[in-house]
Amino acid sequence: MVRLEGKTAIITGAGRGIGRAIAHKLAAEGASVVVNDLDATPANEVVDEITLSGGKAVACPGSVSAAEFAEQLIGAATQNFGGIDIIVNNAGYGWGNPIQRMTDEQWDAMIDVHLKAPFRILRAAQPVISRAVKAENDAGQVVHRKVVNVSSILGVYGGPVQANYSAAKAGIIGLTKTLAKEWGRYRVNVNGVAFGFIETRLTATTTTTVELDGRKLNIGIDQDHSNSLIGKIPLGRAGTTDEAAGAVAILTYPESDYINGQILVVSGGLEG
């Protein structure tokens, strides 16, 4: 059984890691997927993988932090697949420092990618959703749409040297709970997931330098920090990207039609 046949899903940050796994998971369930990534190459690779498996996908590369990008992303869904049923706001990265050394640029970058970008995307989606719901109501149809916003346990519990990231991830929880109330009348279920320690390039123990939104940043964590985090996880290990994607997928299925305004903590029991 495919649960998402006929649905269109937008997934940001879907060229790598958790986002890539989400794109494959939702496509396997029958959704047509708009694959966003900062870089065109990984976005196109995911599209190729999905289409080779018999699914439907298009790429919409670009920075979610760019002022006009939200309209472009929404347009990619409507022009290629005729509408929007699922939005997963997943794109993001970390750029931490103790607060006394944190710059305005660092603060703004995390707020922009983790909070302002989802706000803009959801704002741009509202007219499309509203028109679709009006047509469905006139036709006597009942359709549920799903928004899943990706937060973090740092947004729930906080974390050292991550004031900007934690504040942004806490903010997305507030946005999620507010839109769950605003959009309930549209039958849009707005929920979030707060991830703990998931195995991605951002949490790898090999530090690498990458360019993100025009900035060269070192990503990865040292082995001692990794060991310390894993030692606090009751399940005794980091989560996989497939497990993370499964948690998101649950909140897009018809079985979640009465779940709204909730934050699912996906951390193996780690509480900060």
Kindly compute the dihedral angle of the four CA atoms of residues 160, 161, 165, 166, in this order, to the nearest 10 degrees: 20
Both structure tokens of 147: 């928004």
Active-site residue, selected from the candidate residues 165, 186, 253, 258: 165
Q: Is 89 left (phi over 0), alpha (psi -120 to 50) or beta?
A: beta
Q: Is 253 a catalytic residue?
A: no
The DSSP element (H or E) to which 69 belongs, if any, is: helix 69-81
In degrees, rounded to 5, the angle at the alpha carbon of residue 33 between the alpha carbons of residues 29 and 36 is: 135
Cα distance between residue 168 and residue 4, in whole Å: 30
> Measured between alpha carbons, how far is residue 249 from residues 11, 135, 151, 201, 225 in Å?
12, 27, 15, 22, 30
Report the DSSP beta bridge partners of residue 57.
33
Distance CA 111, CA 202 (A): 18
User: Would you name the residues annotated as active-site residues?
Assistant: 165
